[in-house]
Structure 1
Amino acid sequence: MNAPYWLEELDGLFDSEMIKRKETYVKKMSQDYYWYSPVLRAKLAHYSGDCVLAPKSEEELINIITFAAKRKIPIVTRGGGTGNYGQIIPLRGGIVLDTRELNKIVEIESGQGTFEAGVKLGTIEKVLKETDQELRFFPSTFMKSTIAGFIAGGTGGIGSIAYGTLWDEGNILALTVLTMEETPRKINVKTKEELAKYIHSYGISGIILEATIALAKKVNWVDFLIQFDELEQALLFSDVVAHDTTIQKRLVSVCEAPLSTAFHPIKTFTDKRKASVLLQIAPEHQNDVEKKAACYGGDCSAAFSRFIKQNKLRMSDFSWNHVTLWWLKLHPNDTYLQGRFDPKHYVTQVNQLKERYQDEVLIHFEWIRAGGKVVPSSQPVIRFTTVERLQEIMVSFQEFGIKVSNPHTFLLEEGGKDEWMDQICLAKKENDPNHLLNPGKTHRTAHSPLAGETHV
């Protein structure tokens, strides 16, 4: 296939250090963790951009947008590349916009901070320690994830049990967004309704330049690994901790046996026959948690928290979608789902799944707060055999009243987080009149080359 004509124009217009053309590098930068899904793995592996451009300033970014808009070149904005749904895979070639050099810490105040799009969340967390603050919540991939990438592609994470998700009011305070036009407009966004046009939008509605987020006071968290003979004991205990407003917490994560045995760095603390609960708790509530665990038959290791700190490990590496990652290292053909269980009937729903599928579905819960309510979110591991069987399992989830967020599609409206699709598409129409931003990621605008094929 011939290279597009516009590649020859780059050298005369942009700093050579900004331009990356090496085929293997462009291919790498055109991918995310889509391979978690055997469905997406089969469909998306051969897609790639034509080049990578890495601006270091707002001026350079605007020049790239102008260049692309005039020539009708697609742009896919990339942060750390840690998404799981093929969000950043270019379906129509074009420019992969690497934002990681846009990494200025604009301002940190008490309770909030403003950062350029490419600042890594791990960097923010490290810098915040000097101000006795921390991120409210972050994904398990926070050491690589950028702040704009998380906002445009994520949902919640470690800390969501206290502060909710990206959509919950008070977490994202403001965004500065550039439009995809020959003369890009800079939009300052602050209201909940306007912010929702850019949250979990895969970057189709605008290019985030800066983000202002709320911050939390720093806590010296205590790490727990508590094991239970039965999954139901682990679930009920985790429910009590998640709902107890007197216990300050950052993480309430539940894994059915034998999921936790895949966590290689802490394997000596796990048992393949036991369910596990991982917690991060404020130190003043440690005794209360230990007593509650004992009431449910939980076994706490006094050495675990010490081991984590001595070995400089991160609890985030053993929760959220890192659970799936550890499991896939041992079982590369397996996959996962995302589901929201019913807060009142989740035990029944789990039992229904286990009765029908036994170890074909391995339960993994992350308790979060969403819309002010504590809910059991989940990322269960699926012992994958065929696409048809995966579809059957997803139908069973829905049959049992579990809301599925399908991680086996790159289309926004099929992913289960579509409450704001009308607003996202309205913003795309206003900000990207030629449908150049990450084209093909929604049915509602220019059709995807794989439209109709992403259903599991």
Structure 2
Amino acid sequence: MSNELAEVDPAAIEALATELRELLGEAAVSTEDGTLDRASRDGSHLSPVIQEQLPLGRAQIVAYPATAELIAATVGAAVRHGVPITPRGKGTANYGQTIPMAGGLVLDTSKARTVHEIGDGYLIADAGVTMLSLEQAANKTGQQLLMYPSTANSTLGGFVSGGSGGTGSIKNGLLHWGMVEELWVVHAVPDAELVHVTGDEAAKYVHNYGTAGIIARLRIGLEPAQDWRAFLASFDTFEQALSVIRPFAVLDPTPRLVSADLATLAEALPADDAIPAGRASLRAILDVASLDAARKLVEDAGGRVEDIREGAAASMKLSMISYNHPIEWLQKAYPGTYFHVEVSGDALVDRIDEVHAVYDGGMLHIEAQRERPIGMLAGRYSSAEEVYAGFARLEALGVGYHNPHQWFVDFEPERTAALAATTDPQGLLNPGKLVGAAVDTGSQIADITDRS
């Protein structure tokens, strides 16, 4: 890819800046180089394949609307000036989804953080509220989120636009399976306003990176709060840890999270006496009522319980070293060495030696799910071609995979394209993200979490 970045006519940017400063105030609009650079980066360092292609794009203007209504007004102004719009929350996306590939406006929603209402089984909040803040607010009413991502300081709008599941998914599945009840979205039209959608219509805007509409306000489901404990165990071998992954997933009450790593991965995590060197680690967020059963599972498998910790902070800490995060810590421990592929299936437990052998230095991080485990398979990076070559070997083992080394909409892209044809007629919403990912990256858009 050429490093010559796309850019909008500076005159259009200047005219938009003038209008937005009148609309939002001077402090809520920036064309300063440092701000533009920060708004043009995300967590793409997690993928060496993408890192080799950076920079993918650079913002020309950044706006920070502080309400859902101002998000709509900002979109309308950009459309009238013909300026592309890339939505952004906290910028925690890992694969370039929030990089402004067409230049133009980065619409940072992180200032729109009003919680409007918390009721019995639901809350309504603007897109910029962090998931951590929402969990804390729900707890004060005796409730909890159905799920939240491992990057708990990500925004609600960012999670719903770019995420899939997380802590809570063992019981509650993925975002579009019921957590998102209603959305107020903004379409790319000159007189943009909040468009209220519910049910199946709302689901069309989940996990499409804002390519068919920018999420400005949300109603999401809550459930009664539980008495959680952070449960940390260790084993002589990773195989012993794997042997309890499926039994842990069906504990009653259902765990909020269950993660495990072999010693090499575990030792890359932040220092913790309950993650001892030289031993495979299992970490879980368990309802207090399931602790005795969990302890028995561990001890019967030859492991030992290292610690059981009370308090929301202890559980949140385990969330933040789950899913992609162990791979991030592995990369920090061994810079420039590792990549990962998202994987799923019973072969992660039953054929682990063969799974590890797919890539040089293969190491699996595993997450329990009720139907089948999922995980992140790390390997030593040599080239994109070697990454893609491993996909066929995974498929031959019965392993579902998803190629994370691309920035395209990969969940029902045809449906999103059909929607965007009416909601974004000029193609201004997050350009470059709604294309044929399966062909362009050599990936199979994988069946990693589909339980149908």
- Alignment-derived partner of residue 167 in structure 2: 158
Distance 1:355 1:387, change over 3 A: closer
Partner deviation per Cα, 1:408-435 (whole Å, 9 max, x = no partner): 011223xxxx3x2222112111100000
Given residue 183 of structure 2, which amino acid in structure 1 is its aligned partner? L
Contact 1:148 1:208 in 2 (8 A): yes
1:172 and 2:175 are equivalent in the alignment: no
- Determine the structure 1 residue equivalent to 2:294: 289
Q: Segments of 4+ in structure 1 off by > 6 A? A: 308-313
Map residues 235-384 of structure 1 onto 2, 5 A cutoff: 235-244=242-251, 246-266=252-272, 268-302=273-307, 305=309, 314-343=317-346, 345-357=347-359, 360-369=361-370, 374-384=371-381
Shift, 1:309, TM fit = 7.6
Paired with 2:145 and 2:414, the residues of 1 have a C-alpha distance of 30
Partner of 1:386: 383
Question: Does 2:200 match 1:220?
Answer: no
Pick one of 65, 86, 91 that aligns with 1:81. 91
2:392 maps to a residue whose letter is V
Q: CA–CA distance in 1 between the matches of 2:225 and 2:69?
A: 35
1:199 and 1:112 mapped to 2: Cα distance?
18
The equivalent of 2:428 in structure 1 is 436
Check the 8 A contact 1:338/1:404 in 2, yes or no. Answer: yes
Task: Report the TM-score, using the length of structure 1 for normalisation.
Answer: 0.89
% identical aligned pairs: 29
Counterparts of 2:318 and 2:106, CA distance in 1: 32
Q: Quick check: 2:362–2:380 contact (8 Å CA) kept in 1?
A: yes
Output the CA distance in 1 between the equivalents of 2:56 and 2:421: 29
Does 90-99 or 59-68 show the bigger shift?
59-68
- Which residue, out of 114, 129, 138, partners 2:148? 138
Q: Does 1:111 align with 2:116?
A: no
Distance in 2 between residues matched to 1:346 and 1:40, nearest whole Å: 26
> Contact 1:135–1:216 at 8 Å: present in 2 too?
yes
2:25 aligned with 1:28: no
Structure 2 residue matching 1:232: 3-state secondary structure: helix
Query: For residues 275 and 115 of structure 2, what CA distance do their matches in structure 1 show?
Result: 40
AA at the equivalent of 1:305? R
Q: Which residue of 1 aligns with 2:199?
A: 191
Q: For residues 66 and 266 of structure 2, what CA distance do their matches in structure 1 show?
A: 41
Aligned to 2:447: none
Give me the whole-angstrom Cα distance separating, in 1, the residues matched to 2:320 and 2:68.
33
* Distance in 1, Cα, partners of 2:286 & 2:425: 48
How far the C-alpha of 1:116 sits from its partner, in A, is 0.5
Q: How many residues were matched structurally?
A: 433
TM norm structure 2: 0.90
The answer to whether the Cα contact below 8 Å between 1:174 and 1:212 also exists between their aligned partners in 2 is: yes
Q: CA RMSD in A?
A: 2.3
Give the partner amino acid of 2:430: N
- Listed as ranges, the gaps of 5+ residues in structure 1 are none
Shift in Å at residue 455 of structure 1? 4.3
